């Protein structure tokens, strides 16, 4: 008969691991956790500027970001790079390829990173024996899809100030959920990359950051951002929702 890991023991095992969301909410039994551990290739280093995978690469694995930040990009018809997302520790990369056999974007490390690789065929096979893993995996995929859809829907109706406020608040929430400071953080991405993601020109991004600082909403020191007035930032989005 198998036994369940006590909650405190699971937390000790998975503390700081980007895969904890796959295990902790499920309460996997000892042998199930061992099976999952056997297929995961842990702590694969990816240097800053390197690609974890590229557009049209064959789909073999999903990746959980253990440490660091990634951006995902596609090339527009005129050859320009379009940023489609930013991914931090605790998040999965590679979901773009689930509907086909090749990746639809390129994932580039914004700093030195570590990822855990989940070979998809093995994960799919293991999920047949662990129904709870299947359900929770679908939950993770659904959450990523809903978040992406929400960002696109909001950006379509937002002014520049609202877009940047939404971006900063989203980063704040995601970092806070992972135990990091939600009010002060280091931006791993450049202003130009932020603009590409938000559909804004570089000059507009810089001007909006400056306005936020002048208005006392944030403090900026290089890439270090401090959110000084969260209610005011949220109020910008509330105004958007009413329009």
Q: 55: helix, coil or strand? A: coil
Residues of the chain with pLDDT under 50: 1-16, 18, 22-25, 241-243
pLDDT of residue 237: 80
Place of tokens 């406020």: 165
Residue 77, Cα to own-chain centre: how many angstroms? 26
Instruction: Tell me the C-alpha distance between 89 and 171, whole Å.
Output: 12
Per-residue pLDDT at 38: 78
Q: How far apart are CA 72 and CA 95, in angstroms?
A: 11
Q: Where are the beta strands (DSSP E) in 105-212?
A: 106-109, 113-119, 184-186
Q: What is the pLDDT of residues 29-48, one digit of tens each?
A: 677 767 777 788 878 999 99
Decide: helix, strand or coil at residue 30: helix
Domains defined along the chain, listed by start: 7-151 (2.60.120.10), 157-242 (1.10.10.10)
Number of C-beta neighbours around residue 211 at 10 A: 14
Strand order in the sheet with 41-46: 41-46, 113-119, 61-67, 92-93
**pLDDT of amino acid 144:** 73
Give CA–CA dist 230/218, Å, rounded.
Answer: 9
pLDDT at 153: 67
178-192 residue pLDDT tens: 888 999 999 999 999
Instruction: Spell out where the chain has E strands.
Output: 41-46, 51-53, 61-67, 70-75, 81-87, 92-93, 106-109, 113-119, 184-186, 218-221, 224-227
Confidence (pLDDT) at 141: 74
| pLDDT (0 to 100) of residue 8 | 38
pLDDT at 243: 47
Reading the block at residue 192, the tokens are 């130009």
* CA-wise closest residue to 71 among 194, 223, 202: 194
């Amino acid at each position: 008969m198998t036994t369940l890991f006590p909650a405190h023991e699971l937390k000790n095992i998975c503390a700081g691991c980007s895969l904890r969301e796959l295990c902790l909410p499920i309460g996997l039994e000892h042998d199930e956790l061992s099976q999952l551990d056997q297929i995961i290739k842990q702590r694969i280093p990816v240097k800053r500027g390197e690609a974890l995978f590229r557009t049209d690469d064959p789909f073999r694995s999903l990746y959980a970001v253990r440490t660091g930040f990634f951006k995902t990009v596609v090339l527009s018809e005129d050859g320009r790079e379009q940023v489609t997302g930013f991914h931090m520790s605790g998040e999965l990369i590679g979901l773009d390829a689930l509907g086909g056999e090749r990746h639809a974007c390129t994932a580039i490390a914004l700093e030195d990173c570590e990822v855990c690789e989940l070979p998809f065929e093995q994960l799919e096979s293991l999920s047949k024996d662990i129904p709870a893993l299947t359900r929770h995996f679908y939950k993770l995929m659904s959450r990523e899809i809903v978040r992406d859809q929400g960002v696109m829907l909001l950006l379509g109706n937002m002014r520049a100030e609202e877009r940047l406020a939404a971006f900063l608040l989203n980063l704040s929430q995601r970092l806070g959920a992972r135990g990091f400071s939600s009010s002060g953080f280091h931006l791993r991405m450049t202003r130009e990359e932020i603009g590409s993601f938000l559909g804004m020109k570089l000059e507009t991004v810089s001007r909006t950051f400056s306005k936020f600082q002048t208005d006392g909403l944030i403090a900026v020191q290089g890439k270090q951002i401090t959110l000084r007035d969260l209610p005011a930032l949220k109020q910008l989005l509330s105004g958007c929702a009413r329009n």
